[in-house]
Amino acid sequence: MPSKTYTVAFSAGEASGDQHAATMFKEMQLLCPSVKGIGMGSSQLAAAGVHLTYDSSAIAVIGVIEVIKHYPAIRRALTRMQKMLISEKPDLLVCVDYKEFNFKLARFAKQQGIKVLFYVSPQVWAWRAGRVKEYGKVIDLMAVIFPFETAYYETENIPVRYVGHPSVDKVHPCYSIHAALKHFNLSATAPVVGLLPGSRDNEINRLLPVMLAAATLLLKHNPTIQFVLPQATSISDALVSNYVHTSSLPITIIKGTPYDVMQCCTAVMTTSGTTTLELALLTIPMVICYKLAPITYWLGRRLIKTPFIGLPNIIAHKAIIKELIQHEASAENLAEELWQLLTNTDYANTQRQELRYVKEQLGNGGASALMAQLALEMLHTA
């Protein structure tokens, strides 16, 4: 265990990265209570005791158009982080996801003689596999969350460690299903449908209206259906309320206990991303939907090699979950798939069985603790 006081800089630009970094730093504090954390993140990293140089909630965007629109803010964040690296001279920089931004920051850190640990590999298996070599030039170690990712780095002789997926440790409801239903005032005899529209503002704006319209269609088929929306911590109350309260749907918005809410659901309509793996860990049937700016979608169709965008489908190497992308992500299509999951028991059970396989592929947990150990090993050899 290191005896001196070390300073670790974190760079997390999105809600999932903020959570991963926060959990990792807490594990580091258990092993080395004197470690100091600084950097870029949001509410969870701040709550873990990391002093934020920049609040990343304003730059948590995805897509070409969205990045262009937010470029001035993203550029300011990068400049501020670079100045922080110069002034604070941290012993280690931990870049968590947020690939393009963190690639530039990692390159700058290496120029300053700062060690770089990159957590969550870019999806080189989906597109631009050649990025592996470029990342190898700006990092000291890549920590990957899927076992099949190590081969890409080992082939290029780039230091890599498989740590497992961090969601395995955190996706644990506090209540039993019966207790959770009671806690949220939900009936155990009527279906519960979850709406998970994402953790970014642009996802809410694009997907929540469609999900609400789908919920309206479902309600016409079965007036007893209950709707819940576990609101992400990165999303403001005003943004969600703006859509929900004008829809007149009987929907319960719940904050702070996403996994307890998820486990209550009979089926879920969700955006693509980490949430799909969280639902897989709870074996909750789902339909995945996503919408991007037209130019972003156009570019993606030409660059991405994998036939799927949903992580459970990518891990399973087949379409175990229906994906409704861009124009296919309509209220009618969402409602139709949800209705199948709610009424066709065999169909829903088959998906649950496939999700159990995905769950097995995500490892046995301990990713955050392993990351903490890796970071401290790098500090110890600094």
Dihedral angle computed from the Cα positions of residues 58, 63, 64 and 68, in that order, rounded to the nearest 10 degrees? -10
What pLDDT score was predicted for residue 301?
A: 60
Domains 7-164+366-380 and 177-361 share a fold: yes
pLDDT for res 63: 60
In whole angstroms, what is the distance from residue 273 CA to residue 254 CA? 20
Name every residue whose Cβ is closer than 8 Å to that of residue 366 and which is 6 or more positions away in sequence.
163, 164, 168, 169
In this prediction the pTM is: 0.78
User: Is domain 7-164+366-380 in CATH 3.60.150.10, yes or no?
Assistant: no
Domain boundaries, the chain: 7-164+366-380, 177-361
The pair of three-digit structure tokens given for residue 87, joined into one six-digit string: 């002034």
Tens of pLDDT, residue by residue, the chain (382 residues): 445 789 999 999 888 899 999 999 999 999 999 999 999 999 999 999 999 999 998 887 666 556 667 788 899 999 999 999 999 999 999 999 898 899 999 999 999 999 999 999 987 765 556 789 999 999 999 999 988 889 999 999 999 999 999 899 989 999 999 999 999 999 999 999 999 999 888 899 999 999 999 999 999 999 999 999 999 888 899 999 989 988 889 899 999 899 999 999 999 999 988 899 999 999 999 999 988 765 665 556 655 666 788 899 988 989 999 999 989 999 999 999 999 999 999 999 999 999 999 999 888 899 999 999 999 999 988 5
CATH classification number, 177-361, choose in 3.40.50.280, 3.40.50.2000, 3.40.50.720, 3.10.450.40: 3.40.50.2000
The pLDDT value given to residue 294: 59
Distance of alpha carbon 326 from the chain centroid: 20
Residue 271: φ, ψ to 5°: -70, 165
pLDDT of residue 127: 58
Sheet holding 286-290, edge to edge: 251-255, 226-231, 192-196, 267-271, 286-290, 323-325
Alpha carbon 172 to its chain centroid, in Å, reads 16
88 within 8 A of 7, measured Cβ to Cβ: yes
CA distances from 356 to 193, 317, 346, 363 (A): 20, 14, 15, 12
Strand order in the sheet with 51-55: 51-55, 36-41, 7-12, 92-96, 115-119, 141-144, 160-162
The C-alpha R_g of the chain, in whole angstroms, comes to 21
> Which tokens is 365 given?
């947990």
